[in-house]
Amino acid sequence: MQAPVLVLNANYEPIHVCDLHRALGLLLTEKATLVVNGRGEIRSVSRSLPIPSVIRLSKMVNRPRPHLKLTRREVFRRDNFTCQYCGKRANDHTIDHVLPRHLGGKHVWVNVVTACPACNHRKGGRTLEESGMHLLRQPDEPPSSAQYIFGRHLEENGEWSEFLAGW
């Protein structure tokens, strides 16, 4: 019941990922229709329901364009779980402020990067110039496209790619 289901607006724009329980509720109340059944069916004594992979809302929902929140997980994902100073990939990375906060650096997308513990310790609370280090790639806010936002689910839900491509 926790499987992700892609929710499309009435114009087929991807707007959300919900769990199977919520998707079945929307289908049973006829607030959404089934677009792709990629997972088989659920059977009860009197009924058989398809397990949805993609559903489409019956009515258009107006909502603002989504923006990614600045979280550790999203910074790691943006940087592909790679230290932005030495290029090492590992699971024990930390977040580093390019311009340290005590020197006036803000906690914003363009000032935070993924760093391995060794590089983070070596840089310390100094600027890049003071520490003699450089970034492999300049940090930037990730795109707010549907392909990027919902892309982390594509490995297990390949049938979503046709709905995410144009947005």
For position 167, what pLDDT does the model report? 61
Q: Which residues contact 85 (CB under 8 A, 6 or more apart)?
A: 96, 113, 115, 116, 119, 123, 133, 134, 135, 136
By residue range, what is the domain housing residue 91? 72-131
Please give the structure tokens belonging to residue 84: 């932005």
Quick one: 110 and 155 in the same domain?
no
Average pLDDT over residues 85-90: 93
Q: Which residue has the higher pLDDT, 137 or 39?
A: 137
Q: Which residues contact 109 (CB under 8 A, 6 or more apart)?
A: 70, 78, 139, 140, 141, 142
Number of domains in the chain: 2
Is pLDDT of 155 > 90?
Answer: no
Is the CB of residue 128 less than 8 Å from the CB of residue 98? yes
Average pLDDT over residues 119-130: 94
What would the pLDDT profile of 47-58 be if each residue is shown by its tens digit?
A: 888 889 999 999
Please give the structure tokens belonging to residue 76: 């790691």
Confidence of residue 81 (pLDDT cuts 50, 70, 90): very high
Run of H or E residues at 113:
strand 112-115
Quick one: 28 and 51 in the same domain?
yes
Quick one: 8 and 54 in the same domain?
yes
Residue at 58 is within a domain: yes
Quick one: 156 and 115 in the same domain?
no
Quick one: 79 and 109 in the same domain?
yes
Helices (H), 35-102: 72-78
Residue at 141 is within a domain: no
Quick one: 77 and 60 in the same domain?
no
Residue at 137 is within a domain: no
